A and B are shown apart, each in its own frame.
Chain A
Amino acid sequence: AQSVAQPEDQVNVAEGNPLTVKCTYSVSGNPYLFWYVQYPNRGLQFLLKYITGDNLVKGSYGFEAEFNKSQTSFHLKKPSALVSDSALYFCAVRDLNTGGFKTIFGAGTRLFVKA
């Protein structure tokens, strides 16, 4: 079965420090991986995706993610955190067993950036 795991419920980081939000996946075949962000009482916003090619993917708001096939990971990173980055982050993978229409989401990681 295809799945995605976010091992940390919460990540705390000081403003200006680098941040990492972890994600591991389990899929059969090539993975289609995504990161989304959710602010309070809002829907999810797409940040970035990995389909193929470079293992380092750049996305919105200065975020990037590193795809590691051997470790089946897709960690979200940012070199310098901002207080405004505080939000709920979701890793997701397309379920290719359903023709790619379904998306499997992780449980989410809450990021707190302290000033």
Chain B
Amino acid sequence: DGGITQSPKYLFRKEGQNVTLSCEQNLNHDAMYWYRQDPGQGLRLIYYSQIVNDFQKGDIAEGYSVSREKKESFPLTVTSAQKNPTAFYLCASSGTTGPNQPQHFGDGTRLSIL
């Protein structure tokens, strides 16, 4: 079955450490997204990519970085510059045939500070 796989499910970060969250999709979607979810705040867009080798900052990109070297993969790095990284991170993808396409989500990575 096609879908989005996020790993790991749980991740712990030490002070000053960078960590990378994995997101892989086999839906053949061009567009991929990273969201951060905090309690009571809904989803906030970190980065998105419309096509391979291209990505744009979302609303809360500071302290995060991404790459899009392959269509299937869109990893997110949470850098030490992100001072409050504890959150639930969701990766999503969608077809780019138009704005009527829903997004497909992975099951998230929960990041905590040690």
Contacts and interface: CB of A to CB of B under 8 A. Distances in A.
Interface of A: 9, 32, 34, 36, 41-46, 49, 51, 90, 94, 96, 99-103, 105-108
B105 interface: yes
Given A94-B99, A96-B99, A101 B50 contact: yes
A43 B102 contact: no
Given A102-B58, A107-B42, A45 B99 contact: no
B90 A44 contact: yes
Contact of A100 (B40, B99, B107): B99
B63 interface: no
Given A43-B4, A51-B100, A107 B40 contact: yes
Closest 3 A/B residue pairs (Cβ): A100-B99, A43-B105, A94-B99
A102 B99 CA distance: 9
Interface string B46-62: 00101000000010000
